[in-house]
Structure formats: C-alpha cells, structure tokens
Amino acid sequence: MIVGGHHHCHVSAVSRRLITLFLLTIGPAKAGMTSIVLSDLAEARIEVISFFILIYLLLTLVVKFLWNKLAQGIPAIPKINFRRALCLMLVSGLFMYVILTMISGARELMTPGAWEKEGISYRLKSKGNPRKEQIQTLRDALWKHAEDHDGRFPSGRLDPAIPHKKWKVPEGAGFYSFLAPEADGEILVFEPPTAGKKSYVILESGDIELWSRSKVEREIKEKR
C-alpha cells in the first residue's frame, strides 16, 4: 500500500510539472496577428441560417411529440425518435418544394409572360419599373441637396433634409444604404440584398446602374 501510494504521488508530481511546463511555453498573443472577421452581410446571413436551423429542429420536436401522441391512441402507428422525425421533416419539405415548383410552372403556363422572377419568388410584371423610378427619385433629391449646400450630400439616411419615404425600396424590400462620398469607391447608394440578386446603385457620378450582389459587396468592402 505504501509503495502504491508513493507511486501515485510521484505520477501526480510529474503531471503537475508537465502542465506547468506546457503553460510556460504558451506565449502571449501579439498585436497585429491575423484574425478572421466576417463582414456585416456574412454575419447577417449566418444569423439567418442559424435561426432557420433552430426553428427547423424545434419543429422536428413538435412533429415527434404529435406523432407519438397520435401513436398512443392508434397501436398500428409506430412511435418515432428524433432522427426519424427529422427525416420525416426533410422528406415532407422536399415534397412541398416540388409541389410549389409545379404550381409556379402551371401559373406561368396559364398566364405566359405575366410573371417575372424577383429574388426567390415571382411577382406580376408591372408596366413600369418601380424600383428604378424610386431610386431615380432619390438620386434627384440627393443632387438637389448637393446643389443647395455647396456640393455636400446629406450626412446619412436619417438626415431630415431628405424625406424618409424616399429611402424606402418599393414593395417592402427595406431601405437604401448610403455610403459616405468621402471614401474611395464608386457607389453612393445601393439597394439591400432583399431587393433580389441584382441591385440598383447610384454612383458618385450620378449614374444609376444595375449591379450583381457580388459586385456590390466587393465595392462596399473596398470602400470601407
């Protein structure tokens, strides 16, 4: 017993020495070390995806509970665990996607040319282009402000010099983003990602162009 206890104390002492040596070898973090930081848009997308996954898992628990509750009254129905409930959710989701795709195709066949793709959904084509008309209105208001204030633009979207309604993107797609013209870059105003895969932008030259989201994101990153 004494030998065993002595051996145990010896092992503990060696372990403490190894841990102390390991801690001493860890150097402090130096300033200027490379760190990975996500952009605001990437963080927003990760938050949305995380929220979607959380809701999906919670719904799976609800399906599992309701299914097993039903199985208590009907012996022919087997009970399911969480994994099987998740598979049931995935299969039903795929069926719903196929059904919605078929409905969209049938709607297009019944009214050819009446619908246009807008982001992940479809909307009726309008005679005009409300998105372009709205951003033209905002551009005119910004340039009128610059003419009246020695070439200076408003301080931001909250500046009362430009009515709040002019910053709204049509069809409830959010608000335009305004970038400081003093920074390097071309963009002055751009639509949010909710507007679709392509966004209208106001350049510092006053031109209005339709850019892809990837091009807008690159320009924003360079300007910041």
pLDDT score for 124: 58
pLDDT score for 130: 85
Q: Which two tokens stand for residue 3?
A: 């030998």
pLDDT by residue for the chain (224 residues), tens digit each?
Answer: 444 444 444 445 555 665 665 555 555 555 555 556 666 677 778 888 899 899 989 999 999 999 999 888 888 889 999 999 999 999 998 988 888 888 876 766 666 555 665 555 566 565 568 888 899 999 999 889 888 888 888 877 788 888 888 888 887 778 888 887 655 557 888 888 888 788 889 888 888 888 888 888 888 777 65
d(Cα 140, Cα 69) in Å, to the nearest integer? 62
Can you give the residue ranges of every domain in the chain? 41-112, 130-223
d(Cα 149, Cα 54) in Å, to the nearest integer? 50
pLDDT score for 91: 92
Give the DSSP H/E element, type plus range, for residue 201: strand 198-203
Tracing tokens 């608000």 back to the chain, one arrives at 175
Characterize the bridge pairing of strands 198-203 and 115-118.
unpaired
Q: Do the Cβ atoms of 117 and 125 come closer than 8 Å?
A: no
Instruction: Identify the three-state secondary structure at position 38.
Output: coil
Q: Do the Cβ atoms of 195 and 211 come closer than 8 Å?
A: no
